[in-house]
Structure 1
């Protein structure tokens, strides 16, 4: 039986990673080796920036591709091949808009190489956001952000208001941002129209592949477009109901190596 896909895309938190934010390195190495024998590409499609992902996969980095920051930055063989983001002023306008409407909250702005977090954020909230950034600097005045492309902003707040932020901000400023409920207490914002599916489409095209060649795994709101895009889509057993509604199949829990279990089922048949 021929393996029906030529590329694998996996979300990280709640999908590939277990609840301790780790994974079975030995098992992953075995699965990745099998994929390589079939010329199947392994792609991490995550809201995480590349600075964090490099730390997550130190021994595998040159054997993988990355769709980072919810589709904003693409990495192939360790090198940036595409980037989309907000300007400094657009990022500042969004931060001020959210804070003025909903109150001050822990906020992180991701540049291409470094992230910035407000000094006023509570210590526990800073710890939560700084884990995902890996490399970050505290900033006391958002006006002092450097001139850079900001690939993603994250607000540590009830994610139920994610689409309200998108709608209200875009009504005032024009279509500038797309938001995702990436976690029950985290809202990610990226450049308008960017998501994991757009990033994957652009990345796959570099290898003459399409959505018909893709199997994808996700668990939350920022995976919806990716699950809709992939021909073979799996939501995790532990995932949000919204993700399950957009997936064709269900994978075992992230705490049971669900992604690797499913991949092994396909690979061991061949």
Structure 2
């Protein structure tokens, strides 16, 4: 089956250990993808504030399944953001209580703002963003004395806990086994645990895109490394877990790509394009 779309997670997958990618190499890759009529899709738990900086100047050439699938942006055109109800947000906050929410550095995000408790202990945060990205990320956050101050009229789409990296999977599994509501936890790597509306994930957002483009799941090549990539890997006709992914993620992929620190996504995609060009020359 010919590949028509490549969907790529960011942290731990497309980005290196410093949260970077080789832009010149990517521009060359994008030119080759354009010639073959293959769409490049960023499938990320990040919002467009950070992604827009990462891919500045390229927003009209690539697509975004952002916010863990809740937001879809095609060639710079916002298609939708799927939000959860304020009651669902409250159920989540009540489940943990504010002391635990502060200790786990919880961020509640809407399409308009992100909110965090003033009492949150930021400590040593992972340095996975450059200064410009970090400034955009933190400037978007409003600090509250209590989550009871959350405005009710905003479009909330996820909550994120920034726990210690080794604790992410345990937090995810504990929540999913105990919470009785329409929210699911996903460990997205580097200690981030995303809490999203049940059924809304990267694969859901990508499926909405497939409906608009006429591309089939069998024509998708996907890459991921975290718990929030599992549905995406299950969906794609050609799926790759990164070598640095945990075994429970690798179990959902048909193939293993080299480590993100070795630009594994580039290696696999360039090899695939080389094979297409050889076939075209024959």
Report if TM-score (shorter chain) is over 0.5: yes
Query: What secondary structure sits across from 1:48 in the alignment?
Result: coil
2:190 and 2:19 mapped to 1: Cα distance?
Answer: 16
Contact in 2 for aligned 1:88/1:145 (Cα 8 Å): no
Contact in 2 for aligned 1:214/1:230 (Cα 8 Å): yes
User: TM-score with structure 1 length normalisation?
Assistant: 0.91
Q: CA deviation at 1:81?
A: 0.8
Deviations 1:55-78 (A, max 9, x none): 111021111111111111111122
For residue 269 of structure 2, the aligned residue among 263, 266, 269 is 263
Moved more, 41-50 or 91-100: 91-100
1:113 and 1:264 mapped to 2: Cα distance?
Answer: 38
Tell me whether 1:237 sits opposite 2:237 in the alignment. no
Q: 1:76 to 1:133 in 2, by over 3 A?
A: same
Q: 1:133 to 1:93 in 2, by over 3 A?
A: farther
Tell me whether 1:142 sits opposite 2:140 in the alignment. no
Contact in 1 for aligned 2:222/2:238 (Cα 8 Å): yes
Query: What secondary structure sits across from 1:153 in the alignment?
Result: strand
1:12-91 paired onto structure 2 within 5 Å:
12-91=10-89
Query: What secondary structure sits across from 1:123 in the alignment?
Result: coil
For residue 230 of structure 2, the aligned residue among 217, 224, 235 is 224
1:96 and 1:194 mapped to 2: Cα distance?
Answer: 21
1:128 and 1:161 mapped to 2: Cα distance?
Answer: 21
Q: 1:156 to 1:215 in 2, by over 3 A?
A: same
Aligned to 1:123: 122
The CA RMSD measured in Å over matched residues stands at 2.1
1:92 and 1:267 mapped to 2: Cα distance?
Answer: 48
Deviations 1:124-150 (A, max 9, x none): 367879949452222222122222111
User: TM-score with structure 2 length normalisation?
Assistant: 0.87
Q: 1:124 to 1:113 in 2, by over 3 A?
A: same
Contact in 1 for aligned 2:93/2:101 (Cα 8 Å): no
1:124 and 1:168 mapped to 2: Cα distance?
Answer: 28
1:166 and 1:46 mapped to 2: Cα distance?
Answer: 21
Moved more, 180-189 or 66-75: 180-189
Size of the aligned set, in residue pairs, is: 264
